[in-house]
A and B are shown apart, each in its own frame.
Chain A
Amino acid sequence: MSVVTNTTTIGAIELPSRRNTELMLLGFAVVIPMFAYANVGLAINGKLPPGMLVYGLGLGALAGVAHLVVRRYAKYADPLLLPLATLLNGLGLVFIWRLDQSERLQNLAKRSFGAFSPSAPNQMLYTAVGIALFAAVLLLLKDHRVLQRFTYISMAGALVLLILPVIPGLGADVFGAKIWISVGGFSIQPGEFAKIVIAIFFAGYLMVKRDALALASRRFMGLYLPRGRDLGPILMIWAMSLLVLIFENDLGTSLLFFGMFVIMLYVATERTSWIVIGLLMSVGGAVVVASFASHVQARVTAWLDPFACYTTSGACEQVGQSLMSFGSGGVLGTGLGQGHSDLILFAANSDFIFSTVGEELGLAGVMAFLLIYGLIIERGVRTALAARDPFGKLFAIGLSGAFAIQIFVVAGGVMGLIPLTGMTMPFLASGGSSVLANWALIGILIRISDTARRPAPAPAPSPDSEMTQVVRPS
C-alpha cells in the first residue's frame, strides 16, 4: 500500500482536479459519435439522419449532466473514465442505429416476431437511465468503504441474482442460454449486475481473511498451499461458477466470476499459488463440463474450425460469419453503413456488434476500440494502485479485472480466439442491463479514484512538534 506523507511544514499543494481536461475530452466523446452518425446516414440514405440534432443534443446533455455531477461530487476523480465510457456508449448507439437500418435484420424480426421495432431509441433510453444511475452512485455513495458493511448481504444478493434466471416462470431461455429474466415485459440480465455485487462481497471477504489465506499455508513443491479450511470459499465460488455454467449454459459469466475471484485472491494474498490453483480448477471444471454439455461442445467445435461444420451447425455459421465480417473489413474497413455484417442475423446488434466494428471500421477501428477498452482497464488498475484502503484496492481491481476478462471473452469469442460465449461488449452492445451495470461500474471506479486522488486532510496540528525542541550538539 502506498504511504502518503504529508508534512506540516510544507503546505499541501492543491492537486489539479483535472475536471477541465475531462470536459474537453467529453467534447470529443460527443462530437465523434455525431460525425459517425452523420456518416452512417449519408452512407445508407444519402442524407443526414433526421434525428441528428436531437441525438447530438441528447448525448451532449447526458454527458454534461454526468460531468457536472462528477465536478460537484467527485472533484478529484480520474478524468479519462467518463469520456471513454461516453465515447463507447455514443458509438454503440450509432452502430445499433446502423443495424436498425438493415433490411435483412428487419425482415428477420418480421419473420420471427411478426414486427420489427428499432433498438436505437431503447438504447438511448437505457443510456439516459444508465447515466442517471451513474449520477445516483456518485450522489449516494459518498465513500465506497460504506459498501464493506454489506459484504455478506452482497453474497446473498449475488447468489439470488445468479439463480433468478433458472427459476421457472421468471427465467427466459433465449437461444439456449438461460441468462435472462423477464419482468413486466422487460428482459433483464441479472448476471451483469451480479458482477458488481459479487465484487463487493469478494473485496469485503478477502480484506478480512487475507492474512489467514496468505500466511497459514504449507509449502509444497515450491508452492504455498492453503489450509483445507481456507480452501472452502474458493471451492464454493468454483462450484458456483460451474453451476452457472451447467444450469444457465453461460460459459462467459462463469469464466468472468471465477477469473475475478482468482485475481482478487491473488491481489489480497500475494500468493502465486492461488493463480496456479485457480487456473487448474478452471481448466478442470471447463473440461468436465465440456465433456457432457452439448451446448458447450458445439461452441468448442465451432471455435476449432468454423468452416468445417459451417452448413450443418448454427454455432459454426455464427462464428464463420463473424470471422468473414472481420476478414472482409480488411485494414481500413468498408466504411460505416457500407458493410454486410448483418449477414450474421442472430444477435447482430448485441453479442456480435463487434463484428460490425470489424467490418465497417476495419483493423484500424478495431484496434482503436480495443485500445479504448484497454485504457478504461488501465485507469481502473491505476485507481486500484492509488487507492489508500485495502477494500478500495480490491474492489477496484476486481471491477477492472472483470471488465478486462469480459472484453477478452467477448471480443476473443467473436474473433475466434476462444470459444464463443454469450456476453455483450460493454457500452457497445444493445441491451439495458449491460448499459446500466456498466455505468454503475464506471460510477464506482470514479468514486474510488476520487477518494484515492483527493488530497489527504491536513493532519491536526501535533502538540508534540511544537513543544519538542531538538538540540543539536554543535
Chain B
Amino acid sequence: MNKPLRRISLFCGLLVLALLIRTNWLQYVQAEELSTRKENRRVQIAQYATERGNIIVKGKPITGSVATNGSDFEFKRTYEEGPLWAPVTGYASQAFGATQLESLEDGILTGNDDRLFFDRTVGMFTGEKKQGGNVITTLNPDAQRAAFKQLGKNKGAVAAIDPRTGAILALVSTPSYDPSSFAGNSKDDEKAWVSLKDAEDKNLVNRALRETYPPGSTFKVVTAAAALEHGVVTDINAPTDTPEPYILPGTKTPMVNHASGCEKAPLNEAMRVSCNSVFANLGNKVTRDKMVETAEKFGFNNDKIDIPVRAFASVYDKKMSPDGNALSSIGQFNTAATPLQMAMVTAAIANDGKLMKPYMVDQLTAPNLDLIEKHDPQEMSRPLSAANAQKVREMMVNVVETGTGAPAKINGTTVGGKTGTAQHGEGNKKRPYAWFISYAENPDKSSPVAVAVVIEDSGADRENISGGGLAAPVAKAVMEAVLKGQR
C-alpha cells in the first residue's frame, strides 16, 4: 500500500504547491494592480487616512483638514474661502474624488509621492504618522479677492499673469462653489454635490481654464501682431487701404462696423475705436496660414497648456476659407479662447514679445518644509519681436487713454488694454460676451501684471454689455491690487 501512499503524498504536495504559486501570483505579480483598482476602497482610505498637506497662497494655507467621525475616512478636507479659491484648488472629496491641483499634486499632498520616500521611511522608524507635503502657489491673494469681488454675481472669469515669469496671479471663475460643502461622504455632502453637478450655472466648471469663448475684438491685438510680424503693416500710423464698406473676400457680405471713421483708418486708430473692417482686411492680407502661425505662437491650438492643471485648447481654425479667416481676425467665426489664453496674449505683448510658460505651482515642499521642487520660469515662445511688441503696446495704451478702454485707466500708471464684445448664439441672439484684456506697466517699463476678463451673461441689457463698461473695471481692480502689493 505504500506506493500509492507516496503518490498521494506527492498529490497533496502539489495541492499546497499550487496554493503557494497562486499566492505569489496574487501578492507579488498582481499586487500593484489589485491594490490600486478603482473598486479598492483602500485607495481612498489611504488618501484620507492622514491630514493632507496644504495648498498655500503667500504663506497662508487656503486648505485644511479636519477629523471626521463615524467614517473610515479619517480626515476630511476643508477650505478657507472655498468659492474664492475653488478654481485654483479644485476639490478633494471623500465621496466624489479629486480634481485639479488636489488631484494632480495628490502624491505630494498625501505624502505618497516617491520624492517623499525618505520622509516616510524615517517616519516608519520614529513612529510618526505619515504627513503630506505642501503645494506653494504663485497666486496673489489681493488680486484674486479683487477679481472675485468685482465679478460679483456676474457669470465670468478672470485670469491674471505676471508677464515677466508666467506666474499666475489670479484665477477666478464665477459663480463658484464651496468645495468644503461636499468634501465628506455624508448625506449632506451628497445633496450639495448633486445640486452643484446639475446646476444650470455650471458652478463646477473652471471658466478661467476650461471654457472657451469667442474672444471678439480682444483678438484684434493678435491680428495686429500678425500684421506687424509678417510685414503687412510697418507704420501703425500710416493709412491702410480699407474701403468702407469692406466686403468679405469671396462673398457679397459687407463687414459691419460699430465705429465710424474706419475708411482707410491707420492701425493705431482702428485699434482705438475698434474697426472691424480694418482688422478683417489685415487678417485677409496676412493670409490664413500666417494668422495661424502667429496665433499658435501665442498658444492657440495647443491642447497641452498645463499650469499644471490642463487648460482647454483655444482655437484658431486652420482650414477655413478666406472669408472665415477675415471674420476670425476680429475674434468671431470659429475663433475661441480661454480667459487664460487671452491673458497669455496680453502677457507676451507686455513682456516685449516673449511668452513665458504660465504656471501656478511655485514650489513643492516636504512636510518638514524642505524644498522638493521649484519651478523655473521658462520661455514658451516668441510670437513677436520686441519692436513690434512696443508698437502693439503703444496702440493698447492709446485704447485706454483715449479709446474704448477708458474705464481701466489708473492714475500715474501706464495701462494698455483692449475691449471686446463677442457675439454668439444663432443669429447673435444671445447676450454677447464682454471681454477686456489689459496690462499695467512699472516705471521701469517692465510689466508686473497682464489680465484677461470675460463676463458671460450679465443682468444688464444687451445694449449695455460692452467690454469697456463691464469688464474693464474688473481688470482695473486686479491691476491695482497687484501694483499696490508691489509697493
Contacts and interface: CB of A to CB of B under 8 A. Distances in A.
A417 interface: yes
Contacts of B8: 263, 266-267, 381, 397, 401
Contacts of A327: 26-27, 30-35, 37, 40
Contact of B18 (A329, A378, A417): A417
B346 to A, nearest CB: 49
A408 B18 CA distance: 8
B258 interface: no
A362 interface: yes
A64 interface: no
B37 A103 contact: no
The residue in B3, B18, B27, B34 that gathers the most chain A C-beta atoms within 10 A of its C-beta is B27
Interface stretch (B9-17, B155-163, B282-290, B446-454): B9-17
B39 A310 contact: yes
B3 A408 contact: no
B28 interface: yes
A323 B12 contact: no
B42 A340 contact: yes
Contact of B5 (A371, A377, A397, A415): A397
A415 B41 CA distance: 19
Nearest to B30: A327
Contact of A404 (B3, B16, B45): B16
A331 B27 contact: yes
B93 to A, nearest CB: 20
A362 B27 CA distance: 7
Given A103-B72, A378-B9, A408-B18, A270 B30 contact: no
Contacts of A323: 26, 34
Interface centre among B3, B19, B31 (most CB of A within 10 A): B19
A267 B4 CA distance: 5
B153 interface: no
B486 interface: no
Contacts of A343: 41-42
B20 A400 contact: no
B28 to A, nearest CB: 6
A367 B28 contact: no
Contact of A324 (B18, B28, B40, B72): B40
A307 B37 contact: yes
B27 to A, nearest CB: 4
B12 A381 contact: yes
A154 B94 CA distance: 58
Contact of A326 (B4, B7, B18, B23): B23
Interface string A252-296: 000000000001001110100000000000000000000000000
Nearest to B10: A381
Interface majority SS on A: helix, strand, loop or mixed?
A: helix
B35 A358 contact: no
B16 A267 contact: no
A411 B35 contact: no
A313 to B, nearest CB: 13
Contacts of B72: 103-104, 340
B124 to A, nearest CB: 11
B123 to A, nearest CB: 14
Interface in A63-122: 103-104
Interface residues of A, number: 50
Given A1-B2, A330-B27, A340-B45, A377 B16 contact: yes
| Most A-side CB within 10 Å, residue of B1, B16, B40 | B1
Question: Taking chain B's interface residues, is the majority helix, strand, or loop, or is none over half, making it mixed?
Answer: helix
Nearest to B21: A417
A340 B16 contact: no
A326 B27 contact: yes
Interface in B26-56: 26-28, 30-35, 37, 39-42, 45
A385 B10 CA distance: 13
A153 B276 CA distance: 106
Contact of A330 (B1, B15, B16, B31): B31
Given A103-B72, A390-B1, A393-B5, A324 B35 contact: yes
A49 interface: no
A270 B1 contact: yes
Contacts of B12: 374, 377-378, 381, 400-401, 404
A358 B23 CA distance: 8
B22 interface: yes
Contacts of B40: 324, 327-328
B27 A370 contact: no
A324 B34 contact: yes
B31 A2 contact: no
B302 interface: no
A427 interface: no
Nearest to A403: B12
Interface in B239-273: none
A358 B15 CA distance: 18
Contacts of B19: 370, 407-408, 411-412, 415, 417
A330 B45 contact: no
A331 B31 contact: yes
B24 interface: yes
Nearest to A102: B72
Contacts of B37: 307, 324, 327
Nearest to A268: B1
B27 A267 contact: no
B16 A270 contact: no
Contact of A1 (B1, B15, B33): B1
B3 to A, nearest CB: 7
A27 interface: no
A190 interface: no
Interface string B369-388: 00000000000000000000
A329 B27 contact: yes
A270 to B, nearest CB: 5
A363 interface: yes
Interface in A330-365: 330-331, 340, 343, 358, 362-363
18 contacts: A1-B2, A267-B5, A268-B1, A326-B23, A326-B26, A326-B27, A327-B31, A327-B32, A340-B72, A367-B20, A370-B23, A385-B2, A385-B5, A393-B5, A404-B12, A404-B15, A408-B16, A408-B19
Closest 6 CB pairs of A and B: A327-B34, A363-B27, A404-B12, A374-B16, A328-B35, A408-B15
Interface of B: 1-9, 11-13, 15-16, 18-20, 22-24, 26-28, 30-35, 37, 39-42, 45, 72
